[in-house]
Amino acid sequence: MQVLSVASEVFPLIKTGGLADVAGALPGALAPLGIRMRTLMPGYPAVMAKLGETRRVGGFDSLFGHPASVLEASHAGLDLLILDAPALFDRAGGPYLDRDGLDYPDNFRRFAGLSLAAAEIAAGLIDGWVPDLVHVHDWQAALTPLYMRYDRAPQTPSVFTIHNIAFQGRYGAQVFPELALPPQAFAIDGVEFYGDVSFMKAGLAASTAITTVSPSYAQEILTPEFGMGFEGVLSARVDALSGIVNGIDTDIWNPATDAQIVRPYDPTGLAERARNKAALRTRFGLVESDGPLFCVISRLTLQKGMDVLAEEIATLVSGGGQLAVLGSGDPALEAAFRTAAAASPGQVGLVLGYDEPLSHLMQAGADAILIPSRFEPCGLTQLYGLRYGCVPVVARTGGLADTVIDANEAALAAGVATGLQFSPVSRDGLRLALRRVFSLWRQPPLWESLQRQGMASDVSWDRSARAYAALYSRLLTKG
Which residues form the interface with ligand ADP (CB under 6 A)? Answer: 17-18, 21, 297-299, 326-328, 354-356, 359, 378-381
Largest Cα span, the chain: 68
| Per-residue CA distances from 420 to 215, 371, 413 (Å) | 19, 10, 15
| CB 386, CB 360: distance < 8 Å | no
| CB 427, CB 399: distance < 8 Å | no
- Residue placing its CB nearer to ligand ADP in the complex, 15 or 91: 15
Q: Smallest Cα–Cα separation from 360: which of 295, 286, 288, 449?
A: 295
Q: Is the peptide bond before 105 cis (omega within 30 degrees of 0)?
A: no
- Residue placing its CB nearer to ligand ADP in the complex, 151 or 356: 356
- Residue placing its CB nearer to ligand ADP in the complex, 394 or 450: 394
CA–CA separation, 211 and 65 (whole Å): 33
- Residue placing its CB nearer to ligand ADP in the complex, 78 or 400: 400
| CB 139, CB 166: distance < 8 Å | no
CB of 176 to ligand ADP, least distance (A): 29
| CB 202, CB 190: distance < 8 Å | yes
- Residue placing its CB nearer to ligand ADP in the complex, 4 or 371: 371
| CB 78, CB 45: distance < 8 Å | no
CA–CA separation, 359 and 390 (whole Å): 12
Closest-by-Cβ residue to ligand ADP is 18
- Return the sign of the alpha-carbon dihedral for residues 60, 66, 69, 75: negative
CB of 303 to ligand ADP, least distance (A): 7
CB of 449 to ligand ADP, least distance (A): 25
CB of 42 to ligand ADP, least distance (A): 18
CA–CA separation, 5 and 19 (whole Å): 12
CB of 328 to ligand ADP, least distance (A): 6
CB of 55 to ligand ADP, least distance (A): 31
- Residue placing its CB nearer to ligand ADP in the complex, 109 or 163: 163
Q: Smallest Cα–Cα separation from 135: which of 465, 433, 478, 441?
A: 465
- Residue placing its CB nearer to ligand ADP in the complex, 158 or 373: 373
N residues, the chain: 479
- Residue placing its CB nearer to ligand ADP in the complex, 351 or 437: 351
CB of 213 to ligand ADP, least distance (A): 8
| CB 285, CB 293: distance < 8 Å | no
CB of 352 to ligand ADP, least distance (A): 8
